Chains A and B, each alone.
Chain A
Amino acid sequence: AQTVTQSQPEMSVQEAETVTLSCTYDTSENNYYLFWYKQPPSRQMILVIRQEAYKQQNATENRFSVNFQKAAKSFSLKISDSQLGDTAMYFCAFMKIDYKLSFGAGTTVTVRA
């Protein structure tokens, strides 16, 4: 079974600053996908960024970037130039090819004005 660990239940960041969320996972698979999903309060969950395990290059999406360390089984998310709209719960997630998406416990990010 795959496990995904997010060790930071809550993070607070000043607007325009940078925050990094940590995620580690455990798997014996070689091919898999990693994701960060964002769930704003009372709103739907949306994909922030994805990484395919066979790609060494770290994924980036505008202000969001990841640091993927396959050997260490680490997948952290960096949010640069934080905005008030970034306030949400962030879930790290892992998927093999069998459709099962396993989520971490989540990190609540609050961006302060």
Chain B
Amino acid sequence: DTEVTQTPKHLVMGMTNKKSLKCEQHMGHRAMYWYKQKAKKPPELMFVYSYEKLSINESVPSRFSPECPNSSLLNLHLHALQPEDSALYLCASSQVRGRKIDTGELFFGEGSRLTVL
């Protein structure tokens, strides 16, 4: 199984809503990532979890709240978002060796396309 599964594929929410994006992998990877991607732009790193602990937060606004309940799951909780937060949110995972990356290859999900009205 070499899949990273993201749900939902599409999400429309108002600025006062609370919603969550979910990501799941069963490859035994211990590093998981959230990226934000605008149309025709490269992905921008938001968060990195290593061994279920938050290791990198790229100064992301607090209206985005990540959570890693176990080694297979990664959530992104959304609250009070702005229209400019509309984007494709990509989850990825990678293998690690000890506390360092292994091959460095990231496995990406198909993404959750978020629209904030």
Contact = CB atoms under 8 A, between A and B. Distances in A.
Interface of A: 33, 35, 43-47, 50, 89, 91, 95, 97-101, 103-106, 108
A105 B104 contact: no
25 contacts: A33-B103, A35-B105, A43-B110, A44-B109, A44-B110, A45-B43, A45-B90, A45-B108, A47-B106, A50-B103, A50-B105, A91-B43, A95-B101, A95-B104, A98-B56, A99-B31, A99-B50, A99-B55, A99-B56, A99-B101, A101-B45, A101-B104, A101-B106, A105-B41, A106-B41
B42 interface: yes
B48 interface: yes
Nearest to A9: B40
Interface residues of B, number: 23
Nearest to B96: A99
A101 B105 CA distance: 10
Looking at A33, A35, A45, A98, which has the most chain B CB atoms within 10 Å of its CB?
A45
A103 B44 CA distance: 8
A50 B40 CA distance: 22
Interface of B: 31, 33, 40-43, 45, 48, 50, 55-56, 90, 94, 100-101, 103-106, 108-111
A21 B93 CA distance: 26
A99 B94 contact: yes
A106 B31 contact: no
Contacts of B50: 99
B42 A103 contact: yes
A97 B100 contact: yes
A103 to B, nearest CB: 4
A35 B48 CA distance: 19
